[in-house]
Protein backbone atom coordinates (compact mmCIF):
# COMPACT_ATOMS: atom_id res chain seq x y z
CA UNK A 1 0.00 0.00 0.00
CA UNK A 2 2.77 2.38 0.90
CA UNK A 3 4.47 1.74 -2.37
CA UNK A 4 1.29 2.59 -4.18
CA UNK A 5 0.98 5.84 -2.22
CA UNK A 6 4.60 6.60 -2.88
CA UNK A 7 4.07 6.05 -6.54
CA UNK A 8 1.19 8.47 -6.46
CA UNK A 9 3.26 11.08 -4.64
CA UNK A 10 6.15 10.82 -7.02
CA UNK A 11 3.81 11.06 -9.98
CA UNK A 12 1.80 13.92 -8.55
CA UNK A 13 1.46 15.82 -11.87
CA UNK A 14 -0.37 12.83 -13.32
CA UNK A 15 -2.59 12.53 -10.29
CA UNK A 16 -3.47 16.18 -10.51
CA UNK A 17 -4.17 15.93 -14.20
CA UNK A 18 -6.48 12.97 -13.66
CA UNK A 19 -8.30 14.88 -10.91
CA UNK A 20 -8.60 17.91 -13.17
CA UNK A 21 -9.85 15.69 -15.95
CA UNK A 22 -12.67 14.36 -13.84
CA UNK A 23 -13.54 17.83 -12.59
CA UNK A 24 -13.89 18.88 -16.21
CA UNK A 25 -16.02 15.85 -17.01
CA UNK A 26 -18.23 16.53 -14.03
CA UNK A 27 -18.80 20.11 -15.17
CA UNK A 28 -19.71 18.93 -18.67
CA UNK A 29 -22.20 16.42 -17.42
CA UNK A 30 -23.85 18.38 -14.62
CA UNK A 31 -24.04 21.98 -15.81
CA UNK A 32 -26.94 23.02 -17.97
CA UNK A 33 -25.42 26.36 -18.97
CA UNK A 34 -23.84 25.90 -22.35
CA UNK A 35 -20.93 28.20 -21.54
CA UNK A 36 -20.13 26.24 -18.40
CA UNK A 37 -20.19 23.03 -20.38
CA UNK A 38 -17.69 24.59 -22.74
CA UNK A 39 -15.50 25.63 -19.81
CA UNK A 40 -15.67 22.05 -18.56
CA UNK A 41 -14.37 20.90 -21.92
CA UNK A 42 -11.50 23.34 -21.64
CA UNK A 43 -10.61 22.21 -18.13
CA UNK A 44 -10.63 18.61 -19.27
CA UNK A 45 -8.44 19.30 -22.25
CA UNK A 46 -6.00 21.31 -20.19
CA UNK A 47 -5.70 18.35 -17.87
CA UNK A 48 -4.55 16.15 -20.72
CA UNK A 49 -2.09 18.80 -21.86
CA UNK A 50 -0.66 18.89 -18.35
CA UNK A 51 -0.27 15.15 -18.38
CA UNK A 52 1.60 15.09 -21.67
CA UNK A 53 3.88 17.98 -20.73
CA UNK A 54 4.63 16.37 -17.38
CA UNK A 55 5.51 13.17 -19.18
CA UNK A 56 8.15 14.97 -21.20
CA UNK A 57 9.53 17.06 -18.37
CA UNK A 58 12.73 16.27 -16.51
CA UNK A 59 13.30 18.35 -13.37
CA UNK A 60 16.22 20.65 -14.02
CA UNK A 61 16.54 19.44 -17.58
CA UNK A 62 17.95 21.67 -20.26
CA UNK A 63 16.10 23.22 -23.16
CA UNK A 64 16.17 20.74 -26.07
CA UNK A 65 18.43 22.77 -28.27
CA UNK A 66 21.50 21.17 -29.74
CA UNK A 67 24.55 22.21 -27.71
CA UNK A 68 27.91 20.89 -26.59
CA UNK A 69 26.91 20.14 -22.99
CA UNK A 70 25.75 16.63 -22.33
CA UNK A 71 23.15 17.61 -19.71
CA UNK A 72 19.80 15.80 -19.67
CA UNK A 73 17.25 17.68 -21.74
CA UNK A 74 13.49 17.87 -21.76
CA UNK A 75 11.71 15.60 -24.26
CA UNK A 76 10.39 18.03 -26.87
CA UNK A 77 7.92 15.67 -28.50
CA UNK A 78 5.07 15.99 -25.97
CA UNK A 79 5.30 19.75 -26.03
CA UNK A 80 5.18 19.74 -29.79
CA UNK A 81 2.19 17.44 -29.73
CA UNK A 82 0.42 19.63 -27.24
CA UNK A 83 0.77 22.58 -29.58
CA UNK A 84 -1.40 20.58 -31.94
CA UNK A 85 -3.67 19.69 -29.05
CA UNK A 86 -4.10 23.34 -28.17
CA UNK A 87 -4.95 24.17 -31.76
CA UNK A 88 -7.59 21.45 -31.76
CA UNK A 89 -8.93 22.68 -28.47
CA UNK A 90 -9.21 26.24 -29.77
CA UNK A 91 -11.10 25.06 -32.84
CA UNK A 92 -13.52 23.17 -30.68
CA UNK A 93 -14.02 26.19 -28.48
CA UNK A 94 -14.55 28.48 -31.45
CA UNK A 95 -17.01 26.14 -33.05
CA UNK A 96 -18.89 25.64 -29.81
CA UNK A 97 -19.09 29.39 -29.30
CA UNK A 98 -20.51 29.81 -32.79
CA UNK A 99 -23.15 27.21 -32.02
CA UNK A 100 -23.99 28.85 -28.71
CA UNK A 101 -24.38 32.15 -30.49
CA UNK A 102 -26.76 30.60 -33.00
CA UNK A 103 -28.78 28.98 -30.24
CA UNK A 104 -28.87 32.24 -28.29
CA UNK A 105 -30.18 34.11 -31.32
CA UNK A 106 -32.79 31.44 -31.86
CA UNK A 107 -34.00 30.89 -28.31
CA UNK A 108 -32.71 33.89 -26.35
CA UNK A 109 -31.04 31.77 -23.70
CA UNK A 110 -27.89 29.74 -23.19
CA UNK A 111 -29.38 27.24 -20.76
CA UNK A 112 -29.83 23.70 -22.16
CA UNK A 113 -32.92 22.93 -20.07
CA UNK A 114 -34.51 26.24 -21.00
CA UNK A 115 -33.86 25.55 -24.68
CA UNK A 116 -35.39 22.10 -24.40
CA UNK A 117 -38.43 23.62 -22.68
CA UNK A 118 -38.83 26.32 -25.33
CA UNK A 119 -38.47 23.78 -28.11
CA UNK A 120 -41.06 21.44 -26.67
CA UNK A 121 -43.36 24.38 -25.96
CA UNK A 122 -42.88 25.48 -29.52
CA UNK A 123 -43.98 22.09 -30.76
CA UNK A 124 -47.22 22.25 -28.82
CA UNK A 125 -48.27 25.44 -30.58
Partner 1 sequence: MMTSWTTHLPVFVVILPLFVGFILPTLARRLRLVENLVIAVEVISFVMAAALAVLLFKQNGSPIPYAMGGWPAPWGIRIIADNLGVLFLLVIAIVGLPIALYTKGNLREEVGGRSRTARFYALYLLLMGALAGMAVTNDLFNVFVLVEVATLSACGLVSAHRNPRAAEAAFNYLILATLGSGLVMGSIGFLYITTGHLNMEFAARELAQVWQHSPHVVWMAASFMLTGFGVKAAMFPLHVWLPDAHSMAPTPGSAVLSGLAVKGYLICLLKILYNVFGQTLMRHFTMHHVLTAAGIAAILAGSILALRQDELKRRLAYSTVAQVGYIILGFGFVNQRGLAGSLFYLASHALIKSTLFLTAGAIISATGKTKVSELAGVGRKMPLTMGAFTVASLGLVGIPLFSGFVGKWHLLLGSFESGNFAAAAVILAGSVFCAAYLFPILRNAYFQETPGENWQDPGMAQRAAFVLLSAAIIFFGILPTPLLTLAQRAAADLLFLQ
- DSSP for 62-107, please give it: BPSS--S----B--HHHHHHHHHHHHHHHHHHHHHHHHHHHHHHHH
Return the residue of 16, 39, 74, 92 that touches partner 1, per CB under 8 A.
92
Write each residue from 42 to 81 as x if it is in contact with partner 1 (CB under 8 A), else as -, in one continuous string.
Answer: --xx-xx--xx--x---------------------xx--x
Return the residue of 10, 67, 90, 102 that touches partner 1, per CB under 8 A.
102
Q: What backbone torsions phi and psi does residue 111 show, to the nearest 5 degrees? A: -100, 125
Comparing CA positions, the residue from 124, 103, 101 lying closest to residue 112 is 103
> How many angstroms separate the CA atoms of 116 and 4, rounded?
46
Which residues of this chain interact with partner 1, rule CB under 8 A? 14, 18, 21, 24-25, 28, 34, 37-38, 41, 44-45, 47-48, 51-52, 55, 77-78, 81, 84-85, 88, 91-92, 95-96, 99-100, 102-103, 106-107, 112, 115, 119
Amino acid sequence: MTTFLEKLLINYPYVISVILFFIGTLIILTQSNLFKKLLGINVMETATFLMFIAAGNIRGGAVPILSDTNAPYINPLPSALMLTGIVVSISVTAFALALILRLYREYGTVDANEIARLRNGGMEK
